[in-house]
């Protein structure tokens, strides 16, 4: 009986997937590393995973500029969404707009940058 109760509690807790964001840990400058929330207008954006960084290295010549795709958690008043944000391509999210505006460091030929070293910049606003 005790095992059944412990299992039921574990399953119930596992079903809770939306942990609240602690306000004290939110950056207010629109910049964030992976896993770090930042306030962007009325939204809180948390970069979750670097999906793609195919940008042309700054010390190379390319025929395609490439792109950065960042999976991000976006929180608003009473809701949460996960979106893939593409560098330089604003998106409408509910009644707001959000854009991934920068990804640092710049890519360089022969230099491997771990995802944890990136700093992402966001901008947002109201309207569609």
Decide if pLDDT at 34 tops 90: yes
Q: Is residue 49 part of a domain?
A: yes
Residue 126 has pLDDT above 80, yes or no: no
What is the pTM assigned to this prediction? Answer: 0.78
Q: Looking at residue 52, what is its pLDDT?
A: 95
pLDDT digits 0-9 by tens, 45-77:
999 999 999 999 888 888 888 999 999 999 999
Q: pLDDT grade, residue 15 (50/70/90)?
A: very low
Q: Is residue 90 part of a domain?
A: yes
Instruction: Count up the domains in the chain and report the number.
Output: 1
User: Average pLDDT for residues 112-124, to the nearest whole number?
Assistant: 95
Question: Looking at beta carbons, which pairs linking 98-105 to residues 24 or more positions away fall under 8 Å?
Answer: 98/40, 98/43, 98/45, 98/74, 98/122, 98/123, 98/124, 99/123, 99/124, 100/68, 100/70, 100/72, 103/53, 103/55, 103/68, 103/70
Please give the residue range of the domain that contains residue 97: 21-126
Query: Is 4 part of any domain?
Result: no
Residue 6: inside a domain, yes or no? no
């Amino acid at each position: 009986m005790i095992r059944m109760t412990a299992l039921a509690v574990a399953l119930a807790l596992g079903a809770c997937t939306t942990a609240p964001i602690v306000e004290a840990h939110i950056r207010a400058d629109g910049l964030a590393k992976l896993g770090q929330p930042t306030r962007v207008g009325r939204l809180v954006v948390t970069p979750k995973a670097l999906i793609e960084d195919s940008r042309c290295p700054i010390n190379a010549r390319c025929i395609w500029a490439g792109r950065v795709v960042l999976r991000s958690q976006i929180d608003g008043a009473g809701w949460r969404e996960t979106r893939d944000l593409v560098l330089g391509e604003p998106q409408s999210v509910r009644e707001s707009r959000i854009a991934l505006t920068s990804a640092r460091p710049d890519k360089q030929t022969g230099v491997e940058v771990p995802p944890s070293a990136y700093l992402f910049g966001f901008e947002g606003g109201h309207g569609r």
